[in-house]
């Protein structure tokens, strides 16, 4: 890649960022054991909870057990993404606003939103990422769905859309720390609401279903990607998912630029 091009420059910087943060985290290898144990226990608990809804051949919101596994797999995958990138980076953003070191980030010859979103990489979300993929594959195979290339492509696309929406939600929340310094507790609220994504959105009553497809687009985080992989997604929901992903990314960008105009550093 041409070293002078901005993409090459950003790519090389991010590669350096990530290799250095991985090297730093490798100091704590015992953590990996704890994370693997915690991920396995959580997954066992989530599977147990889900199984309670499928007693004797029962369905949940029209979904069979094997299909619901795909939803849980996508949820686990997104959780892994949040632990790998969102929580460490956006947690830092809040700290930098509090301490005033955000000033130095703004002075760097790099886009501040990209720097803040990609500066570190935590390997501790890896077990969740792997188990999420395993669950998606197992659920897809056992449900009898044989996804063709189109289904796999749409599934990947919807997964990327889900990741984009999740990122935007987190970033918007973290960016509001420019105004409300102690926003971090709000991420706990977000996390507890996103837990709704462990189940197919059709399992909820109509009023909540509406909330989960509009205000808090949980439906497009887990249900629609799972539908796409299983070949059940309608063209309309795929299109809506893409539009919401695009809009939320633009929204996070616009909010960040608006926030920076209001940023007056920690001391003033």
Partner 1 sequence: MSQPLPSRPHLHRHRLLHAGRPALASALRIARALFISQYALMLEFRAEILLWALSGLLPLLMFSLWSGAPAGAAAGISPQAFARYFLAAFVVRQFTVVWVVYAFEEDNLLGRLSPLLLQPLPLVWRYAAAHLAEQATRLPFVVVMVGLFFWAVPEAVWIPSPHRLLLALLAAHLGFWLNFLLQHAITMLCFWSERASALERFLFMPYLFLSGLIAPLDLFPEAVRRFALLTPFPSMLYLPAQLASGGSIDALAGFRTVAIWLAVLIPLNLWLWRAGVRRYGAMGG
Binding residues for partner 1 (CB under 8 A)? 31, 34, 37-38, 41-42, 45, 48-49, 52-56, 58-61, 182, 185-186, 188-189, 191-193, 195-196, 199, 203-205, 208
Nearer to partner 1, 87 or 161 (CB): 87
Residue 176 Cβ vs partner 1, minimum distance, rounded to whole Å: 13
Using an 8 Å Cβ cutoff, are 166 and 23 in contact?
Answer: no
Distance CA 143, CA 68 (A): 9
Measured from the CB of residue 191, what is the shortest distance to partner 1 in angstroms? 7
Least Å from the CB of residue 90 to partner 1? 16
Nearer to partner 1, 162 or 200 (CB): 200
Give the separation between CA 130 and CA 77, rounded to whole angstroms.
7
Residue placing its CB nearer to partner 1 in the complex, 1 or 52: 52
Cα–Cα distance measured from residue 212 to residue 208, given in angstroms and rounded to the nearest whole number: 6
Alpha helices (runs of H) in 53-182, residue ranges in sequence order: 65-81, 87-99, 102-107, 112-118, 126-142, 149-175
Q: Which is nearer to partner 1, 75 or 115 (CB)?
A: 75
- 85 by Cβ neighbours in 10 Å (0-12 / 13-18 / 19+) ranks as buried
The distance in angstroms from the start CA to the end CA of the chain is 43
CB of 65 to partner 1, least distance (A): 11
Closest Cα to residue 126, out of 27, 207, 200, 26? 26
* Nearest to partner 1 of 58, 267 (CB atom): 58
Q: Tell the smallest beta-carbon distance from residue 60 to partner 1 (Å).
A: 6
Torsion of CA 144, 149, 150, 155, to 10 degrees: 70
Min CB(197)–partner 1 separation in Å: 11
Q: Which is nearer to partner 1, 204 or 263 (CB)?
A: 204
């Amino acid at each position: 890649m041409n070293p002078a091009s901005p993409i090459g420059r950003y790519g090389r910087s991010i590669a350096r960022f990530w290799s250095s943060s991985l090297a730093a985290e490798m100091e704590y290898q015992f953590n990996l054991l704890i994370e693997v144990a915690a991920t396995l226990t959580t997954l066992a608990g989530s599977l147990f909870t889900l199984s309670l809804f499928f007693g004797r051949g029962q369905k949940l919101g029209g979904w069979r057990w094997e299909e619901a596994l795909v939803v849980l797999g996508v949820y686990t995958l997104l959780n892994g993404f949040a632990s790998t990138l969102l929580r460490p980076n956006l947690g830092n953003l809040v700290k930098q606003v509090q301490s005033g070191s955000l000033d130095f980030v703004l002075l760097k010859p790099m886009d501040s939103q990209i720097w803040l979103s990609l500066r570190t990489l935590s390997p501790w979300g890896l077990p969740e990422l792997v188990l999420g993929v395993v669950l998606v594959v197992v659920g897809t195979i056992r449900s009898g769905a044989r996804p063709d290339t189109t289904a796999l492509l749409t599934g990947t696309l919807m997964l990327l859309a889900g990741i984009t929406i999740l990122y935007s939600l987190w970033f918007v929340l973290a960016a509001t720390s420019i105004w409300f310094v102690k926003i971090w507790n709000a991420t706990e609220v977000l996390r507890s609401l996103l837990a709704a994504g462990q189940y197919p959105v059709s399992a909820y009553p109509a009023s909540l279903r509406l909330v989960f497809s509009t205000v808090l687009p949980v439906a497009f985080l887990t249900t629609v990607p799972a539908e796409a992989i299983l070949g059940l997604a309608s063209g309309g929901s795929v299109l809506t998912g893409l539009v919401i992903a695009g809009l939320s990314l633009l929204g996070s960008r616009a909010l960040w630029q608006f926030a920076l105009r209001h940023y007056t550093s920690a001391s003033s």
